[in-house]
């Protein structure tokens, strides 16, 4: 995890507007219980997710990570739906029928 944190910070120095790197950095810091600047990080992460959802983009936060952040239930469901649709699209590329459940 420390190496990942170092790499995400370097990526953000090279490209400050890199949502995937920022959200992964936040997740790594959460894993090691680093709560310095927690409120600032959560505010920025929530803003990134809201912006991505509004622009119909795939959110940088994974569905199972969304429970760790102060997101609304609607945002969590939208994150899960977008990631689920990505999986459906990837299966379609294999020319296989979607799994029926």
Select which of 47, 64, 65, 83 is catalytic.
64
What are the structure tokens assigned to 41, written together?
């990080």
Is 62 labeled as catalytic in the residue annotation? no
DSSP class per residue in 8-56? HHHHHHH-S--HHHHHHHHHHHHHTT--TTHHHHHHHHHHHHHHHHHTT
What are the structure tokens assigned to 96, written together?
């296989």
Q: Which residues are catalytic?
A: 64
């Amino acid at each position: 995890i420390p190496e990942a944190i170092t790499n995400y910070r370097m990526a953000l120095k090279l490209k400050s507007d890199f949502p995937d790197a920022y959200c992964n950095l936040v997740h790594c810091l959460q894993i090691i219980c680093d709560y310095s600047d927690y409120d600032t990080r959560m505010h920025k992460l929530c803003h990134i997710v809201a912006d991505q959802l509004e622009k119909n983009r795939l959110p940088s936060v994974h569905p199972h990570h969304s429970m760790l952040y102060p997101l609304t239930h609607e945002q969590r469901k939208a994150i899960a739906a977008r990631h689920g649709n990505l999986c459906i699209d990837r299966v379609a590329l294999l020319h296989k029928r979607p799994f029926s459940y």
